[in-house]
Amino acid sequence: MKLMPYSLGVLPLTLLALLAPPSSAVPAGPAAPSAPGAVSQRHSAAEISRFLAAFYGDHGPSPYDRENRVSQVLKERQGVSPGSDVLLCAQNKPRAIGVGPVTVAPSAGVGWATVTTHWGAEVAPGADARAEAEATDTFTAYVRLDSRPIRLDDVICAG
């Protein structure tokens, strides 16, 4: 039996995020409390952007971040995919990483951004060796707006 690399538990969250009207790159203000004394703080687009930039850094998340700043779903997905890095949608370390603008969907309770990884590519035979070829790849990183502490909730690979 072949294991599926993606958990069906994240599918409803992803679909809900796609159906909810986004408020692109606009910080989400505090939500109204649902009950007296309820915690109403939600992460803003700016907070999520800072988190993702620090989490991914230049070459990928640190061992500490992998253990303490990701959802249980991602930890389990990594456990069944030891040959690839589910947080980077790759099999090795990128040369550089960039995080795009964050979109928040308050009604879905989620924010996301496109993450671009930059890879050194082989230079074709006969090509100018000084001209370094570069390849890129993208994936989408998701954060729940109410996660405390903030953590990466899901990653959807583009390819």
| Domains assigned to the chain | 42-122+133-159 (3.10.450.50)
pLDDT for 70:
98
Phi, psi dihedrals of residue 5, rounded to the nearest 5°: -75, -15
Could you tell me which residues come within 8 angstroms of residue 91 by beta carbon, excluding any fewer than 6 positions away? 83, 84, 85
Helices (H) then strands (E): counts for the chain: 4, 5
**pLDDT tens-digit profile of 34-47?**
444 444 589 999 99
Q: For the chain, give the mean pLDDT.
A: 79
Match 């992998």 to its residue by tokens.
Answer: 66
Q: In what order do the strands lie in the sheet with 134-144?
A: 23-24, 96-105, 110-120, 134-144, 152-157
Residue pair 110/16 in contact (Cβ under 8 Å)? The answer is: yes
Q: Which of 156, 10, 150, 157 is nearest to 69 (CA)?
A: 150
Could you tell me which residues come within 8 angstroms of residue 94 by beta carbon, excluding any fewer than 6 positions away? 59, 60, 88, 117, 118, 119
Predicted confidence band of residue 49 (pLDDT cuts 50, 70, 90)? very high
**pLDDT tens-digit profile of 54-104?**
999 999 999 999 999 999 999 999 999 988 999 999 999 999 999 999 999
Residue 90: strand pairing partners: 85
Higher model confidence: residue 67 or residue 24?
Answer: 67
Judge whether residue 127 has pLDDT over 50: yes
